[in-house]
Structure 1
Amino acid sequence: MKGIPFVKSAIVLCMIPFLIWVNVHFMHNQNYYLTSTIILVALLVPFGLEYNKKPNTSKLVLIASLAAIATIGRIAFYMIPQFKPVLAIVILSSVMLGPYEGFMVGALTGFVSNFYFGQGPWTIWQMFAFGITGFAAGYLFRRFKLSRMTLCVYGILSACFIYGIIMNFETIIMVPGTITRSRVFATYGAGIPFDIIHGISTYLFLFIIYNPFVEKLTRIKMKYNI
């Protein structure tokens, strides 16, 4: 269906931010499980609209497998704050499978891995932050054919200026009290060291796993016609 790309973009860029806004302003951050579930179900809608295409099942299995790998990677490095391979895996998934599929890997990873790290109002923000970082990478790669090193640099920048900005903003609005300029600066300032660590780790993981990841996914895509 020709309208599928529009539906995917609308879900990622409009519907999910709207659901987060509703959870913050009308549900008072209490119904995060419900919101997370609605987000995951909404992400499956385009696959239902493409029911006549054979590769759908294989692609969904692959997305779930990549999210599982990212989840295991996040748990494996739990002892080092922000030093995680999640964004690297999400970015490469998006580059190889497409922006929307990369978003799904990121969102699913955020939801599942937080059963270990702890669920809360932050979960839906992490789902979106992981996902939109991958979504942007997939779009940029498809449009400009980024090189390995360029993608690694994107990893640093996206960890700091996409994921970091979103999650720091989440911290600002989750803390009770009036939002002031000093509070905003203090929150973003305190997050800088963690964002830098996250960016460096994303760069390193992208540099290390790029070739084997791309080669393996290329073979899988060819084998299952994804």
Structure 2
Amino acid sequence: MRQPTFLRFPTRRITTLALFSASCIVGRLLFTWIPNVQPMSAILLLLAFYGSYADTLIVTIVSLLGTNLYLGMGSWTISQLLAFSSIVTLFHFLSKITLIRRHTFLQALIAFFCGLCYGLIVSRVEVFLYQLPSFWAYYFQGLFFDVLHGSGNFVFYLLLAPVFKRVFKPVIHPSKVE
């Protein structure tokens, strides 16, 4: 009898997703004492750049729920999920551009702007959920924290990019080397 060949979640993939999720959760919890500075965003952006889009979304959801179970769950979980998904999607599509693919500093700069975009999306969703009278007043009050988030993304991206390049380095089989 023929065995099915459509194993979508082999052990190696599950283990890899669990390790990335754990690194996001631990990184976010280690840096809770610095407002909005966390390696979780940079890890997700790097995963969106070097890994697959589906795996990145899985790690995003697991990491966000894991950290919010510990730090507190609320309506902000919805806005965080929408914001993380948006910036991961944006970053994944930008990774297809050759100029961006070649320059790590440019990627880190885009990661900085993704931190600002994250804050903009969270603010927009929160204003909608809470029916606040003024979006711009709410957004500008949190702009300093968005800049901190973007700065953290920039620094962590530059620190973690060499590790991700090495982890996702294409494997060359000895039989294919001439």
Same fold (TM over 0.5): yes
**How far apart are 1:157 and its partner, in Å?**
0.6
Q: Which TM-score applies when normalising by structure 2?
A: 0.83
Correspondence list, 1:133-144, <5 A: 133-144=87-98
**How far apart are 1:53 and its partner, in Å?**
4.9
In structure 2, the CA distance between the partners of 1:63 and 1:128, relative to structure 1 (3 Å rule), is farther
**How far apart are 1:216 and its partner, in Å?**
2.4
| SS of structure 1 residue aligned to 2:73 | coil
Task: Encode CA deviations 1:103-146: one digit per residue, 9 max, x unaligned.
Answer: 22222211111111101121122123223322221221134352
Contact 2:44 2:56 in 1 (8 A): yes
Contact 2:50 2:164 in 1 (8 A): no
Correspondence list, 1:59-98, <5 A: 59-98=13-52
1:213 aligns with 2:164: yes
Higher relative contact order (CA 8 A, sep 6+): 2
* Match of residue 201 from structure 1: 152
**How far apart are 1:207 and its partner, in Å?**
0.6
Structure 1 residues without counterparts, runs of 5 or longer: 1-50
* Match of residue 176 from structure 2: none
* Match of residue 123 from structure 1: 77
* Match of residue 174 from structure 1: 129
| SS of structure 1 residue aligned to 2:169 | helix
Q: Which amino acid aligns with 1:154?
A: I
Task: Encode CA deviations 1:163-215: one digit per residue, 9 max, x unaligned.
Answer: 1111111221232x5x43xx211111111100000000100000111102221
Correspondence list, 1:10-29, <5 A: none
In structure 2, the CA distance between the partners of 1:194 and 1:54, relative to structure 1 (3 Å rule), is closer
Q: Which amino acid aligns with 1:160?
A: L
CA distance in 1, matches of 2:172, 2:30: 30
**How far apart are 1:76 and its partner, in Å?**
0.0
- The root-mean-square deviation of aligned C-alpha atoms, in Å, is 2.4
Q: Which TM-score applies when normalising by structure 1?
A: 0.67
Structure 2 residues without counterparts, runs of 5 or longer: 174-178
1:150 to 83, 92, 106: 106
In structure 2, the CA distance between the partners of 1:114 and 1:222, relative to structure 1 (3 Å rule), is farther
| SS of structure 2 residue aligned to 1:142 | coil
In structure 2, the CA distance between the partners of 1:127 and 1:141, relative to structure 1 (3 Å rule), is same
* Higher percent of residues as helix: 1
CA distance in 2, matches of 1:122, 1:222: 44
CA distance in 2, matches of 1:109, 1:86: 8
2:141 to 190, 198, 206: 190
CA distance in 2, matches of 1:222, 1:194: 43
